[in-house]
Chain A
Amino acid sequence: MTTTDLDTRPADHHLSDGDLVRRLDDELDPREAARVDAHLTGCERCHSAMTETRVHSLRVSRLLEIADPTHESAPATTEPASGAPAAHGGRLRWRSTYWHVAAAILLTAGLALGATGLRSWIGDASRAAWSLIADAADSGPGDSSVWEGGSLGSVTATFVPYGDRFAIRVTHRQASGTLRLRPGDGPSASARVEGGTGIETLLVVPDGVSILNDARSTADYEIVIPPSVTEVEIRIAAEGIHTAPAPHEGEPSMVFDLAR
């Protein structure tokens, strides 16, 4: 059917597929919508076509929702396996076949504040990962834990603020990746790039900071968070964790060693 204007179309003229979608999407003005509704009431063929369009639309919406990459589920694991932690000589080690990136986090906040100064908590599914970070921080300089590949996803850490800031030092670069920090509800954070090559991008967002790493980037990021903040959510897309010796003992910082 052509795109003949609905107002000029003969009453017995069947509706086009486009008209049906426009009605479904509430894109018609009231007069057009009334004409379409009147036609649908008396035309079995168009009524059937409308039903089919509605079914297609709902089905596509549902399947897109089910298959949405933004809420993929993690497989349940009972034993350390791919993507799950396993102890190796006092270290926690993840192995994964997914990606070529090995990335690193060191919480020197833990080193600076001691085991009691760092209180981390995350949900059951992510507790193990944060334990890795906390254990590494507690174990002191020189220790190292590796999570080879896999996604850190989103973790929430509760910590005792030390002053009003901590630094993120990225010692090696990944190909690319976004790191998000959310210091909980309410207070906002500020951030700045220290050094760097001008290709680093940092965006202060309402509830935190978003940093896009680049393989060529050499900057460190200093994040200033109000002392009232006790929780920080860290999200690193497609990154693993590799904790390394602390380069900044005595100051609360997070070190992301984003190496290929």
Chain B
Amino acid sequence: MNVGALYERYHDSLVRYLARYSGDLDLAEDAAHEAFLRLAERPPADSQGVRAWLFTVGTNLVRDAWRSGRRRSTLLQASQARPGIGTPTVGPEATLEQSETRRLVRTALDALSDRDRRVLLMREEGFKHREIGDALGIPTKSVGTVIARALKKLADHLPTDMEDRA
């Protein structure tokens, strides 16, 4: 198994998924690192499902971190994210709007069940229903139904004027 190639292929997607899942970019990067390390040390028997395996391990690492009380960003912390050097600068008004949008999306995501959140976020990363079902223990044919309900729930939790704010 070429871990380097897998890293190159999946790392950014995994970090993005974990950051959206947790609301904590730093925690997401740490969990992604650890997931790849575990992949190098103890690769799954099924090399075909390595991507889903990475996402599952990463998710579990985030949840472990929460359980151990290591850290979890609050909505406010997420909206006050530290500015990264090298990231584009925007005006204060746009920053405020973006922070508010981020906060509202975070609130809506947090209102979902863990399963619904994972289903939606894995779908966003391009997973097939079979892979999502395997990762979450849901029959493949039921994944569409779970996604549909989760989409509605998320839409219900998002203010109708979100796009205007964004």
Contact = CB atoms under 8 A, between A and B. Distances in A.
* A interacts with B: yes
A70 interface: yes
A168 to B, nearest CB: 16
Interface in B27-48: 28-30, 33-34, 36-37, 40
A201 B8 contact: no
Q: How large is the interface on B (under 10, 10 to 19, 20 to 34, 35 or more residues)?
A: 35 or more
B71 to A, nearest CB: 8
A48 B30 CA distance: 43
- Tell me if A's interface is mostly helix, strand, loop or mixed: mixed
B151 A68 contact: no
A27 B129 contact: yes
Interface stretch (A108-116, A148-156, A158-166, A244-252): A148-156
Contacts, number: 211
B166 A3 contact: no
Interface residues of A, number: 62
Interface of A: 3, 16-22, 25, 27, 53, 56-57, 59-64, 66-77, 83, 96, 98-99, 122-123, 125-126, 129, 149-156, 175-178, 201, 203-207, 210, 212, 237-238
Given A60-B151, A63-B101, 14 more contacts: A19-B144, A21-B145, A21-B148, A56-B151, A61-B124, A67-B101, A68-B16, A72-B98, A73-B83, A76-B91, A175-B70, A178-B30, A203-B33, A206-B8
26 contacts: A17-B144, A18-B145, A25-B144, A59-B158, A60-B155, A63-B162, A63-B163, A69-B20, A70-B25, A71-B87, A72-B81, A73-B89, A74-B88, A75-B89, A125-B85, A125-B87, A129-B85, A151-B82, A153-B84, A175-B70, A177-B30, A205-B4, A205-B7, A205-B36, A237-B26, A237-B29
